[in-house]
């Protein structure tokens, strides 16, 4: 997606050791025009999949998923990471390991919001080691729902999340795939 | 806002002790059409305030803020609750006390995303005791920015957050104000 490559080159920051920081438009500040372009692109990529629901994970997946859902005209469900006394009694739970924070946490969805008839599109901002995406897949599978695709904004192609998902024959589309050369410059695959 | 009252009566759940649960369209599953109506209403209410940025707090404020921002054509900044190694070095921090979880946590915004020239609209899903809204106000004030309004989807008018904010002459609009009678039935103020 050329628009997004240009946006990353213009507004992304590369930190030492191959960390791409997109806080100025995707992870802290949200550039709504950019999110609209992302949403339209996801709709093109998954237009013939009869998506009935978009599934994502709080917090940084929510904006991308909500804006994208406008083009699919379907609801979003976001998996919760935090304890919440208000969740229903029947929930699906999966474990996600965060490399950034070096800890494992539970992600949860109330059972009433995922149906076995759902055709689910999983959307997230980043794909690195794939732990979050696999957790969301697991939640959908617990509900007996079909995952018709996974849409990722930025895939770190030097980590193995993409490989893990593609080996499972999942309909995965990443809008851009990035890696870094030894000068910490960004390279789009 | 009549649309939202009808939506709450149709899809909200009232739990014992006056807890209004709107997980089916606002806090866990997101009804995008409803969010669009909310966004349009905020735009009407704050149309002459020259808003340059919308400020909210993760996680459940993000969807409302992002969808609403489309009608203002401004970026969103969401304050972070969690530790993140990727935040900038210069940040604004405030403390928020959560009655639901009975704990105090820090909320943070990178200094580079709030400017003293900004005219900020704070948006959040709920207003109860006002702790989150006051924390967001504090962050904007630390940046030297002007808060031109606060837009709340659902105000619990039996708690004192609304009173605290109105006493400070803040331009506060809540789309609906709810309380409960002694049968735990909802009453719109």
pLDDT in tens, A44-71: 999 999 999 999 999 989 999 999 999 9
pLDDT digits (tens, 9 = 90+) for A24-35: 999 999 999 999
Predicted local confidence at residue B112, as pLDDT: 95
User: How far apart (Å, rounded) are the C-alpha atoms in residues A4 and B143?
Assistant: 30
Is the Cβ–Cβ distance between B66 and A34 less than 8 Å?
A: no
- Give the list of residues 6+ apart from residue A176 with CB closer than 8 angstroms, or none: A1, A4, A5, A8, A153, A154, A155, A188
Average pLDDT over residues A72-98: 86
Q: What is the pLDDT of residue B82?
A: 75
Asked if the Cβ–Cβ distance from A66 to B109 is below 8 Å, we say no
Q: Inform me whether the pLDDT recorded for A18 exceeds 80.
A: no
CB of A104 within 8 Å of a chain B CB? The answer is no
pLDDT band for B83, please (50, 70, 90 cuts).
low
- Residues of chain B neighbouring A77 (CB-CB closer than 8 A): 28-30
Please give the distance of CA A52 from its chain centroid, rounded to a whole number. Answer: 17
**Gap from B72 CA to chain A (nearest CA, Å):** 10
Find all residues with CB under 8 Å of B1, minimum gap 6, and list them. Answer: B37, B38, B41, B175, B176
From the CB of residue A63, how many other CB atoms can be counted at a distance below 10 Å? 27
Beta strands in B68-169 (DSSP E): 76-79, 91-98, 103-110, 119-127, 146-156
Asked if A69's CB is within 8 angstroms of B23's CB, the reply is no
- Name the pTM for this structure: 0.96
Which domains, and CATH codes, for chain B?
44-177 (3.40.50.2020)
Cβ A63–B63 below 8 Å, yes or no?
yes
User: Residues of A with CB below 8 A from B19's CB?
Assistant: 86
Q: ipTM score of the complex?
A: 0.95
pLDDT at B56: 98
A101 vs B161: which has the higher pLDDT: B161
Instruction: Report the alpha-carbon distance of residue A76 to residue A70 in Å, rounded.
Output: 10
Given CB atoms, is A28 within the 8 Å cutoff of chain B? yes
């Amino acid at each position: 997606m050329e628009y997004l490559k240009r946006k990353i080159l213009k507004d992304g920051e590369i930190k030492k050791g191959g960390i791409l920081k997109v806080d100025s438009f995707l992870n802290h500040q949200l550039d709504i025009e950019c999110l609209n372009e992302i949403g339209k692109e996801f709709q093109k990529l998954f237009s013939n999949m009869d998506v009935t629901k978009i599934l994502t994970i709080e917090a940084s997946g929510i904006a991308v998923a909500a804006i994208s859902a406008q083009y699919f005209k379907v609801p979003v469900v976001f998996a919760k990471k935090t304890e919440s006394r208000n969740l229903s009694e029947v929930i699906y739970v999966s474990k996600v390991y965060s490399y950034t924070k070096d800890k494992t946490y539970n992600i949860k969805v109330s059972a009433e919001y995922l149906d076995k008839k759902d055709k689910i599109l999983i959307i997230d901002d980043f794909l690195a080691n794939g732990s979050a995406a696999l957790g969301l897949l697991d939640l959908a599978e617990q509900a007996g729902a079909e995952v018709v695709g996974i849409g990722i904004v930025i895939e770190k192609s030097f980590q193995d999340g993409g490989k893990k998902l593609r080996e499972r024959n999942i309909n995965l589309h990443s809008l851009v795939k990035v890696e870094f050369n030894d000068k910490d410059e960004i390279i789009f695959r």
